[in-house]
Amino acid sequence: MKSIILIVLDGLGDRPGSELKNRTPLQAAFRPNLNWIASHGINGIMHPISPGIRCGSDTSHMSLLGYDPKIYYPGRGPFEALGLGININPGDLAFRANFATNINGKITDRRAGRENRGNDALASAISIDMGDYKFRVKSGVEHRAALVVSGPDLSDRVTDSDPHKEGLPPERIRSLDPSADRTAEIINAYLDRAREILSNHEVNRERAKNGKLPGNELLIRSPGKVPDIPSFLEKNHMKGACVVGSPWLKGLCSLLRMDVFDVPGATGTVGSNYRGKIEKAVQLTESHDFILVNIKATDVAGHDGNYLLKREVIEEIDKGLEPLRTIGERTVLCITGDHSTPCSFRDHSGDPVPIVFYTDGVMNDGVQFFDEFSSSHGSLRITSYNVMDILMQLAGRSEKFGS
């Protein structure tokens, strides 16, 4: 049996842009290693979840790992909190959060300039108790954070405060059924108090003095409680590991009881130690059956609408992939995206993403380049639910269906 490496280039897929002479960032990038792997592998396009679905990174990663998010997805909040090291007890309610900029009651930047310096102090200042309820905030990569609420009779049937676009005021939390009325009231009271604290905090006064955007609003979304979910070993019969930078994905892997490994310089954003992640994954094939690698920078560039940056990021990632050319004898490799984040759209789209499977002896389908259009001429038309089955079959780990 062979080990498996699944590399997910977050938000990889894109659409042609005039800045790149009507090419996608993948097409325009110098990518000799990706092209080598494509020319020696089985290629195609993959629809995350199913055709046309605009999925999140969380639901797409769950499906890639063999878990149906329609059954197991609790909302992203618990993943963020677990990934940032916040302990969550039964009954606690967790949210994904952003530090954002609120000017005159409207959100002018949902990411507060992606500033991270000082966010630990801001998080500490709004980690407070209010009556019977305890609110814990921890900052993550750049503007990101997580909020965990502890107290009696909390419900996850509430809405977001995040308006999901600039130029609008933060939303009031609403209950989705009567059992959540009290939860919505408690969280609205907390967000009002947090806004007061953040507006007067010295970190934000200093940012304003230096011409930077204040992180004076905590936007929360994706409420959830920890689900009852089988471990990766129980589900897939493999010892799993992950080499990832995004806290929410560390949280998901921790929840699945996969081993989580950090790599020096792996930041979960642009400028990460891409080669270090790949080298660590190759090393882990000696001790683990399955290794997940996520590289976030492609998604960051897509959300920023920056075609040139996304091309540059792909070229830097490609340099780090060189060690993968020599591992086919003992490892099955898959490279794909978890969804498309077109620069023209600046958000996740329902477009499919290219995918390639490579190992020694695999039947090549004649595709020579790894990009959205070349890959569409390959032999595969699959969804993310098919990926684990294909990997396990190529690795000699699948069981026969029937006699």
CB 158 within 8 A of CB 183: yes
Distances, alpha carbon 11 to alpha carbons 62, 159, 172, 293, in Å = 15, 25, 30, 14
Average pLDDT in the 246-264 region?
Answer: 94
CB 318 within 8 A of CB 36: no
- Can you give the pLDDT at residue 281? 98
Nearest to 100 by CA among 184, 206, 194, 173: 194
Tell me the pLDDT of the chain averaged across its residues.
96
pLDDT greater at residue 247 or residue 394: 394
Nearest to 301 by CA among 24, 102, 63, 100: 24
Position 268 pLDDT exceeds 80: no
CA torsion 283-250-85-73 (nearest 10°) is -150
376 token code pair = 């569409």
- Can you give the pLDDT at residue 90? 85
Average pLDDT in the 174-200 region?
Answer: 97
d(C-alpha 240, C-alpha 106), whole Å = 44
The beta strand positions in 65-132, using DSSP E, are: 93-103, 106-109, 129-130
d(C-alpha 69, C-alpha 85), whole Å = 23
Report the sign of the C-alpha dihedral through residues 383, 388, 392, 395, in that order: positive
Share of the chain above pLDDT 90, in %: 93
Position 286 pLDDT exceeds 80: yes
pLDDT greater at residue 91 or residue 7: 7
179 token code pair = 């059992």
Nearest to 86 by CA among 60, 133, 131, 124: 124
Q: What is the DSSP string of 155-182?
A: -S-B--S--SSTTSPPPPP-BSSGGGHH
pLDDT in tens, 149-170: 999 999 999 999 999 999 999 9
- Can you give the pLDDT at residue 228? 86
- How open is the CA angle 68-70-75, to the nearest 5 degrees? 105
CB 149 within 8 A of CB 161: no
Each residue of 47-63: b (16+ CB within 10 Å) or e? Answer: bbbeeebebbbbbbbbb
Residue with tokens 């995350």: 48
- Can you give the pLDDT at residue 50? 96
47 token code pair = 């629809």
pLDDT band of residue 282 (cuts 50, 70, 90) is: very high
State pTM to two decimals: 0.85
CB 50 within 8 A of CB 379: no
122 token code pair = 């801001």
- Can you give the pLDDT at residue 226? 86
- Can you give the pLDDT at residue 10? 98
Average pLDDT in the 359-387 region?
Answer: 97
pLDDT in tens, 208-246: 999 999 999 999 999 999 888 999 999 999 999 999 988
Per-state percent for the chain, helix, strand, coil, to nearest 5: 35, 20, 45
Position 135 pLDDT exceeds 80: yes
d(C-alpha 366, C-alpha 41), whole Å = 8
